[in-house]
Structure 1
């Protein structure tokens, strides 16, 4: 992608299997998440990996899950690779 703002994202609802299959969502959960999180998307952010490396990513999906007190985030790297992590693992980057 030439611009990180061009990545498709989910806002205003939880993702479905159809969203995932269409490339709109990074993940979906069955049964569905309890609620989406009202965060303006997309967000350019840094994610600290397990090895301590900082990776620039684009947050594209945020949902609350009943078994987790943190927000689950779907993201893509600038190269387009997908991943899932907790919101607390990210730091938003200034634009």
Structure 2
């Protein structure tokens, strides 16, 4: 289960995500669509804290992962992410 409440992300003065709330049940499939630059990748990166949200909370399987006390590496072991570009790592 993933529960996102009032998620926002800014880069300086540029607001990329504005007050997003979403609940995803176990086994549910969700598609995120939109034009280039609309924040799709930023939203996904926030879900596993590769980007730190400016505000809001993200709960993954009952753990509020936006809490600074959470050991995010342990949470990430239960998540998967496929990167958009296969050549993300130049040595591969």
TM range (shorter): under 0.3
| TM-score (ref. length: structure 1) | 0.25
Greater fraction strand = 1
- Larger C-alpha radius of gyration, 1 or 2? 2
TM-score calculated relative to the size of structure 2: 0.25
